[in-house]
Chain A
């Protein structure tokens, strides 16, 4: 286990686009405010970039799976299940993300404190900002993803399910082998937009102290009194992420459409 984490650590430092051996800051920012190491802010900002990307990547699977089940619940025959799912989406699509984040962050803190209090522990409790951010962003992402997936479900004809059952596939296998691949293809553009929103929303987690891009550039701005340059850099890094996102998603969409007939 240690060997794996060490290897991963070495790999990420090697491939670090900012302060790695082939990094931008290593080559072009030596001696400036963005130099790597103790001399500049390059390595802090690089680690912030890594945390932003990791937070978004860690939230995605959780939010997608949860959103998928919420979408299933919304299409259910059972009214009580539909109602429960609709309450969920109304709630989390209506609340500001920042408020959700605070409610999760302080709420978890109070809950853990009470729980530990019953066990006889009275010390201060600090919730990990990364975990709180993951929960809050994942919950919001799931609410939006369920809407996207629900409308994608509507685009799949009933005959696809019927054909699956006629072939003797179980409900689960029909869903997995027949419906899901088509569903993802239809939902891909919508999910791309949600991923962009997720990336942008990670910036909010800096408010509760997660050292992401915005937090690190904010610290650098406060220390060096060069706020405009550093916040421009933060915006630039988000633009780079947006560009990468559109590249990846245009590739995925092309790939998803490769079996469709040419028109």
Chain B
């Protein structure tokens, strides 16, 4: 038996092991330095080339362009969401006609560049002017903005249909079997049991799709819609000031980062019951 009659004095923690100055650290510092230098260079360039007149005349234009971009994207995401529902059900249907029709639709819009689709709608359908005049739709296809809205809606519907289908199929079969055994009708069990679980799965892909659409919408500038990119191009062609592109880049980055963080918060909030 032993009795402790003396406590060990509290001691300072051992000194931290000196981190060796590795090549990795050197490289990391150099690269961070490069980013810093680029940032400072752009800032200095902006300060040197600062022109209040230019800022006053083109700043609001860029912002209104941003408004056009956001309107276009939100409308096409919304309309695309409506259109994606029948497409997603077509993809899951056992009816061969519905299946193949939606399959071909989705494959076409996911397999071709959105810029080619936009050209197909704007220049391609626009070349049928007499026919469109006859059915009274010419006012729609005359405007580049409506054409862009149509092309983007059709495009995002294909992507959203795939997201929706994947999410619905990711819900385990036992869920619908459980609902059926409780005597719920298929409609109720879909709306109250399958869909809420599917939409949580679909949340992140939907966020990515919105970000992709915001980035993809820059191409409307080519068909003379003055969105953020279009206004930037117009400002650049008038001033030959390369900085315009940096301002546009800043705005795009801001929007995308805000959305991304918003989505992280949203996802954390909506899945808090799934945390263990």
Contact = CB atoms under 8 A, between A and B. Distances in A.
B111 A99 contact: no
A136 interface: no
A228 B120 contact: yes
A156 interface: no
A239 B103 CA distance: 13
Contacts of A41: none
B127 A226 contact: yes
Contacts of B246: 103
B128 A90 contact: no
B242 A107 contact: yes
B24 A95 contact: no
B40 to A, nearest CB: 14
Contacts, number: 141
A214 B115 contact: yes
B23 to A, nearest CB: 10
A135 B209 CA distance: 25
Contacts of B217: 96
Interface in B92-127: 107-108, 110-117, 119-120, 123-127
B197 to A, nearest CB: 24
B229 interface: yes
A214 B119 contact: yes
B123 A227 contact: yes
A184 interface: no
Nearest to A52: B113
A214 B116 contact: yes
B124 A232 contact: yes
Interface string B204-220: 00000001001111110
B182 interface: no
A76 to B, nearest CB: 6
A204 B124 contact: no
Given A81-B27, A231-B124, A204 B215 contact: no
A257 interface: no
Given A96-B218, A225-B127, A227-B127, A80 B120 contact: no
A29 B246 CA distance: 47
A235 interface: yes
Contacts of A201: 113
Contact of A98 (B112, B117, B218, B236): B218
B28 A99 contact: no
B120 A235 contact: yes
Contacts of B43: none
The winner among B27, B116, B117, B245 for most chain A CB atoms within 10 A is: B116
B11 interface: no
Contacts of B248: 99
B268 to A, nearest CB: 20
Interface in B122-153: 123-128
DSSP majority for the B interface?
helix
B215 A95 contact: yes
Contacts of A90: 253, 257
Given A97-B215, A106-B245, A234-B116, A207 B222 contact: yes
Interface in A204-263: 204, 206-207, 214, 218, 221, 225-228, 231-232, 234-235, 238-239, 242-243
A93 B22 CA distance: 30
A78 to B, nearest CB: 5
B29 interface: yes
B35 to A, nearest CB: 5
B120 A232 contact: yes
A112 interface: no
Closest 9 CB pairs of A and B: A81-B28, A80-B28, A242-B111, A228-B124, A84-B31, A96-B218, A203-B113, A200-B113, A227-B123
Given A207-B115, A228-B125, 8 more contacts: A80-B29, A80-B31, A97-B218, A99-B232, A200-B112, A227-B127, A228-B120, A231-B120
Interface of B: 22, 24-25, 27-29, 31-32, 34-35, 107-108, 110-117, 119-120, 123-128, 211, 214-219, 221-222, 229, 232-233, 236, 242, 245-246, 248-249, 252-253, 256-257
Interface of A: 73, 76-85, 87, 90-91, 93-99, 102-103, 106-107, 110, 196, 200-204, 206-207, 214, 218, 221, 225-228, 231-232, 234-235, 238-239, 242-243
